[in-house]
Amino acid sequence: MTNSTERKTFTLFTDGACRGNPGPGGWAYILRTDDSEIECSGGDPATTNQRMEVTAVMRALESLTAPANVVIYADSQYVTKGLVEWMDGWIARGWKNAAKKSVANQDLWRVLAELREKHTLTTHWVKAHAGHPENERCDEMAFAEAAKF
């Protein structure tokens, strides 16, 4: 396996949006390295905001072809805390949360658990609608996707 110091480092900005919750939704990400930037987005006609937030990160990590260091900026504490604070406990409890209930959106979180094994992830929470340019761009793209339905 490649040492994490030898891996390429990516900066990832994500957002999810929903018109109604549940309702039509969209997700978006910006994936950046020192020499490139990719924007990607998609949507779902019937979903929730949390599913779109998680899907944005999942789709970005799935797009990486080799193990990488990924610094994630998201306005969803559900995503930032889920990846680095809650997931280990969920797994240890058989995908149950602290209240012993099944983890919501488990289908997506299980995929992220596998991706987390491949990549070295660091998360940062950013305040939504606070002028963070990449977060604002992801928000625009996610809402544009939701509006297609």
- Catalytic residue positions, numbered: 15-16, 53, 75, 129, 139
The β-bridge partners of 44 are 25
Cβ distance 67 to 119 under 8 Å?
Answer: yes
How many CA atoms lie less than 13 Å away from 21 in the CB half-sphere? 9
Cα–Cα distances in angstroms (integers) from residue 122 to residues 40, 69, 74, 137, in the given order:
20, 8, 11, 21
CA 67 – CA 90 distance, rounded (Å): 24
The β-bridge partners of 52 are none
